[in-house]
Amino acid sequence: MDMSFGSESGLERARKRRRSNGNENIARNGEKEINIQVVVRCRGRIDREIAANSPVIIKTTPREIYVKQSPADKTYTFDKVYGPEADQAKIFDHIVVPILHEVKAGYNCTLFAYGQTSTGKTYTMEGDLNTTDGSINKDAGIIPRTLFSLFRDLEAETQDFSVKVSYIELYNEDLKDLLSSTDDPRKLKIQDEGTKKGILTGHEEVLVKNAADGIRALKQGSIKRHASQTNYNKNSSRSHSVFSITVHIKETMPDGEDLLKVGKLNLVDLAGSECIGRTGAENNRAKEAGNINKSLLTLGRCINALNERCLHIPFRESKLTRLLQDSLGGKTKTCIIATISPAKLSYEETISTLDYAHRAKNIRNKPVANQRVTKKALIKEYISEIERLKMDLQAAREKNGFYMTHESYQSLIEENRSRKDENEDLRRVNESLMVKVQELCKENTMLESSRNELENKCTKMQIYQTKIDEQISSVVTETQGHVDSQNQAISACQNIVKEVTDTEIRRLKEHNALLTKIIEEANSRMVLMREELLTNISTYISTNLNNFTNVQAESLKSSFGKVHDSIKENVDYILFFLLEQICRFSTNVLLCLTLKIPIGLCREANITALEGMMTSNTKYFNNLKVKLDKKKF
C-alpha cells in the first residue's frame, strides 16, 4: 500500500536504493532549484456575505492583490492572481495544464489548496464531480478536469500507459501509533487502538481505466469525508484530503528495451484554516478545529523554517507535514493555490492566508525526474512487494506475530539507521547551538559590562555638561547685563550729543546770520564811500580844472585809480574772507551730523572740539569786525 506520497513503500525504497547505485550523481547534476509557485484565487461574495452586507475589500490584477484598509491598501504580489471572473476552466488551463506536462515527463508534482473555511478550496480541487453525457460540467474542479485531460492526451499520444489513483484523508493529529486493519482491501481503516481518537481513511492505490473510473474512485474514497456544518460553510471539510494520480508510460528504447517513465500528481485539499470563535466551533468541533489548526500551524512552521533556510525543518511534528515533506523543499514541483474571500467580514483570515502564502513563495525545491525503470525490473519489484504483503497478511490473520520480509526488515533497519543519523545530526546541531549560546552569553556579559562603563561615563558627562551649561548661562546673563548697560549709556550719550549738536547748530546759524548782516553792511557802506569819493573828486576837479596842468591831471587820475584799486582789493579780501567763513561753518555743520553716533561713544572729546571750533569762529568774526572798522575811509 502506498499510503502517502511522503512515506515510502518498499517499492519506492527499492527504487531509491537503485538510484543511489550510480545514477544519483547523474540526477544530482541536473538538479536546478526553483521556487514553489504560489497563486491566489479570490471568489465572488457568497449569499451569507451578501446577506451580512459585508463590502468587497479585495481588488485583483493578473499578479497583484490589493486589500483595502486604512490609511493605505495592502498590496501582495504572487505568481498569478485570479479574481471572481476566473472560472474553473481558466484555473485548470493556466495552472494545471503546465503541471500535467511535467507529470508526463516523469516528475512528481503537488498542488495544494490552502485557505480559510468556505473560500473555495474544495470547489477549486473537486467542484462538480458529476458528468453529463460522459463529459464534465462547467463547475468541475481540478481533479475531474485532470483525469479527463490526462486520459484524452495519453490516449492520443501513446498506446501503452497505465494510471493509478489513491485517496487518503487525515483529520486527527492525535494519532500516534497507526495500526492497520485490512478486512476491506479497497479501504484502509487505521485506528489509534490506545485512545480510539482518530481515523485515517483512504484506499490503496487502484488502477483506473478511464476518467470516469478515476472520479468514481475519488467519490468512493471521500464518501465518508469528514464534513460538518459551520457558521461559515454548510458543508465544511473537517479533514485534509490527498488525491494522488500516478502515471506509468512505456517508452521503447532504440535497442528495443522497454522503459517505464513514472510521474505522480498529488492534489491536496487542506481543511480550512479558521478562527475557532468566529466559525462557531463548539465542543468536539472546537477540538477538531484546534487539531486542524495545529497541523496547519506545523505546516506554517515548516514553511517559515524553509524560508529562513534553517537546518532543522519540523516535518515530523505532524502527519500532514510528513505527507507534504517532499513537496516542500524536496524534489517535487509544487504549486500552492491560496483561496480567499473578497468580503470585509473575512479581513483577518484573508490577511493571514496572504501572509502565509507570501512566505511560501520563497521555498525552493530541486525537482528531479523519476528514474526510468525497465519493465522487467518493475514487474520483479511488484512481485516481491505482493509476496511481502501476502506474508504480512497471513501473519496478521493468524495473529501469529508480525511477519516481515528480509527486504522490509532491511528497510526498517536502514530507516532506523537514518533516524539515528538524523538524531546524531540534530545532536550535533544542538551541540553547536549550545556552543553558540555560550559564546553569546560571554559576549552578552562583556556587552553588559561595557554598557555599565558607558552608563557611568554618560552620567559623568551629564554632570560635566550641567556645569558647563550653568557657566555658559551665567556668562550669558552677565554679558547681557553689560550689553544692556552699554546700550543705556549709548542712548543717553546719543541724547546728549543730539542736544549739544542742536544747540551748536543753532549758535552757528546765528553767527551765520550775523556774518551775512556784516557783509551786507560792509557792502552798502562801501557803495556809499565810493559814491562819496566820486562826488568829492568830481567837485574838486570841476572847481580846480583850470589850475590843473596836464601833469597834475595825470597824477590825479593815477591816485584816483590807486584809491579805486585799494577799495576793490579791500572789498575782494572781505568777500573772500566771508566766503571762507561760510565754508567753515558748513563743514562744521556737516561734521556734526556725520559724527553724531561716534560722538555718542566719545562725546567729551568731540564736544570740546566743537567748542574749540565755535571759539575760533567767534574770534574770526571779531577780527573781521576790527579789520572792517580799520578799512573805513
Ligand X SMILES: Nc1ncnc2c1ncn2[C@@H]1O[C@H](COP(=O)(O)OP(=O)(O)OP(=O)(O)O)[C@@H](O)[C@H]1O
122 marked as part of a ligand binding site: yes
Give the single-character DSSP code of 119: S
User: Which residues lie below 8 Å from residue 36, measured CB to CB, with a gap of 6+?
Assistant: 328, 334, 335, 336, 360, 361, 363, 364, 365
* Nearer to ligand X among residue 150 and residue 296 (C-beta): 296
Is 120 within any annotated ligand binding site? yes
Q: Are strands 161-170 and 179-181 parallel, antiparallel or unpaired?
A: unpaired
Residue span binding ligand X (CB under 6 A) among the ranges 53-61, 119-127, 358-366, 460-468 = 119-127
- Binding segment for ligand X among 115-123, 362-370, 401-409, 562-570 (CB under 6 A)? 115-123
**C-beta of 81 vs 103, nearer to ligand X:** 81
Which residue in 237, 295, 325, 353 binds ligand X (CB under 6 A)? Answer: 237
**401: alpha, beta or left, given left = phi > 0 and alpha = psi -120 to 50?**
left
For cell 528514474, the residue is 371
Residue nearest to ligand X (CB): 120
- Determine whether the annotation assigns residue 615 to a binding site: no
CB of 336 to ligand X, least distance (A): 14
Please identify, using beta-carbon distances, which residue of 130 and 423 lies nearer to ligand X: 130
The annotation status of 115 as a binding-site residue, yes or no, is yes
The answer to whether residue 120 forms part of the interface with ligand X (CB under 6 A) is yes
DSSP state at residue 133: T
Say how far apart CA 329 and CA 365 lie, in whole Å. Answer: 4
Q: What values do phi and psi take at 7, rounded to 5?
A: -80, 150
Q: Which of 146, 166, 236, 325 binds ligand X (CB under 6 A)?
A: 236
Q: According to the annotation, is 543 in a ligand binding site? A: no
- Which residue lies nearer to ligand X by CB, 337 or 368? 337
Q: Residues 4, 37, 110, 117: which binds ligand X (CB under 6 A)?
A: 117
In the range 3-62, which residues lie near ligand X by CB under 6 A?
A: 43, 46
Among 10, 115, 202, 329, binds ligand X (CB under 6 A): 115
Q: For residue 470, give the C-alpha cell.
A: 550653568
Q: From the CB of 227, what's the least distance to ligand X, in Å?
A: 7
Identity at 320, one-letter amino acid code = L
Q: Which is nearer to ligand X, 237 or 617 (CB)?
A: 237
Among 121, 164, 225, 264, binds ligand X (CB under 6 A): 121
Q: Is 273 annotated as a binding residue?
A: no
CB of 127 to ligand X, least distance (A): 8
To the question of whether residue 376 is assigned a binding role by annotation, the answer is no
Cβ contacts of 243 within 8 Å, gap of 6 or more: 125, 143, 165, 166, 167, 218, 221, 266, 267, 268, 269
Near ligand X in 122-141, by CB under 6 A: 122-123
Instruction: Take residue 418 and report the three cell numbers written for it.
Output: 537514518
- Cβ–Cβ < 8 Å for 592, 610: yes
Place of cell 551730523: 593
Non-local (6+) Cβ contacts of 227 within 8 A are 235, 236, 237, 238
Beta strands in 184-257 (DSSP E): 188-191, 199-208, 227-228, 236-237, 240-252
Residues 6 or more apart whose CB falls under 8 angstroms from that of 534 comprise: none
144 touching ligand X, by CB under 6 A: no
> Residue 213 CB, nearest distance to ligand X (Å)?
24
What is the rounded distance in angstroms from the CA atom of residue 512 to the CA atom of residue 516? 6
Q: Which x/- pattern over 311-340 shows residues binding ligand X (rule: CB under 6 A)?
A: ----------------------------x-
Q: Give the Cα separation of 458 and 447 in Å (integer).
A: 16
Site string for ligand X, 215-234 (x = CB under 6 A): ------------------x-
Whether the Cβ atoms of residue 613 and residue 566 lie closer than 8 Å to each other = no
Phi (first) and psi of residue 550, to 5 degrees: -55, -40
- Does residue 306 contact residue 12 with C-beta atoms inside 8 Å? no
- Which amino acid is it at 234? K
Q: Does 370 contact ligand X by CB under 6 A? A: no
**Residue from 4, 9, 108, 119 binding ligand X (CB under 6 A):** 119
Of 271 and 522, CB closest to ligand X: 271
**118 belongs to the binding site for ligand X (CB under 6 A):** yes
Please count the residues of this chain forming the interface with ligand X, following the rule CB under 6 A: 17
What are the start-end ranges of the H helices in 66-204?
88-91, 97-104, 121-125, 142-157
Query: How far is C-alpha 139 from the geometric centre of its chain's CA atoms?
Result: 40
CB of 292 to ligand X, least distance (A): 9
Of 120-128, 255-263, 300-308, 472-480, which segment contacts ligand X by CB under 6 A?
Answer: 120-128
The footprint of ligand X on residues 238-297 (CB under 6 A) is 271-272
Instruction: Identify the H or E element spanning 286.
Output: helix 283-307
Task: Confirm whether residue 221 is marked as ligand binding.
Answer: no
The three three-digit cell numbers of residue 336, written as one number? 500552492
Instruction: Mark residues 146-185: x for contact with ligand X by CB under 6 A, - for none.
Output: ----------------------------------------
Feature table: binding site for ATP: 115-122
Feature table: binding site: 115-122
Question: What does the binding site for ligand X look like in residue numbers (CB under 6 A)?
Answer: 43, 46, 115, 117-123, 233, 235-237, 271-272, 339
